[in-house]
Structure formats: structure tokens, C-alpha cells
Amino acid sequence: MVMSVRSDVTRLLADPLRARIVELLSREALCTCHLVEETGAKQTNISNHLRVLREAGLVDTEPCGRFTYYRLRPEPLEDLAVHLGDLARAARDSATTERKRPCP
């Protein structure tokens, strides 16, 4: 399950607009109208990306009058960062020991 969450987060962040939305939400909670203004994307496109991010557990919502603010959840990104750090360490270790699998 954890591997699935990591690959889901990686897949979601591969989309340039979604990555931009995540970057903007890392600084402050924003509503759809702010994200439209910041990205230049259409409101329906932003709303669809926010729905996907919310369903994946990357963002939380906070109703505020007739608006909904979106806030980035750090935990899924922290988990991915730890996993990527582990991969980098393993790659560094295998490069320094010149580990390679022999061919048959």
C-alpha cells in the first residue's frame, strides 16, 4: 500500500499544472479563484486537479463562506522525500562499491 501511495504521488506531480498547484499551496491556503489567477488555467481545469489531489489525500479543504480553501498536506510529500532519499543513498552506495550483477 505504501508503495502505491508513493507512486500515486509521483504520478500526480508529473502533471505540470498539478505540480504548480502543489507548489502554490505549499506557501499558503488558496481557493480556486486564486489558483486560476496564479496559473492562468481555466476554473474547471483547476477544480478537476484539486479534486484529484483531494482524493489522493494531498490536500485538505476548509470551507470559508461561499469559498473553499485548499491546504497542502505535508505527510505524503515527506514520505515520498524519505523514499527518494533512500533511493539516492542506495544508488550512491552501489556506485562506490561498483556493485553489478554478472551476466549469464
Determine what percent of the chain is predicted with pLDDT higher than 90. Answer: 62
Q: What's the confidence (pLDDT) of residue 1?
A: 38
Q: Whole-prediction pTM value?
A: 0.81
User: Which residues face 72 on adjacent strands?
Assistant: 59
CB neighbour class for 53 (10 Å; exposed up to 12, middle 13-18, buried from 19): buried
Fold (topology level) of 2-96: Arc Repressor Mutant, subunit A (1.10.10)
The residue-averaged pLDDT of 1-20 equals 78
**Poorest-pLDDT segment among 25-29, 34-38, 81-85, 92-96:** 92-96
Q: What's the confidence (pLDDT) of residue 46?
A: 98
Domains of the chain: which residue ranges? 2-96
Confidence of residue 60 (pLDDT cuts 50, 70, 90): very high
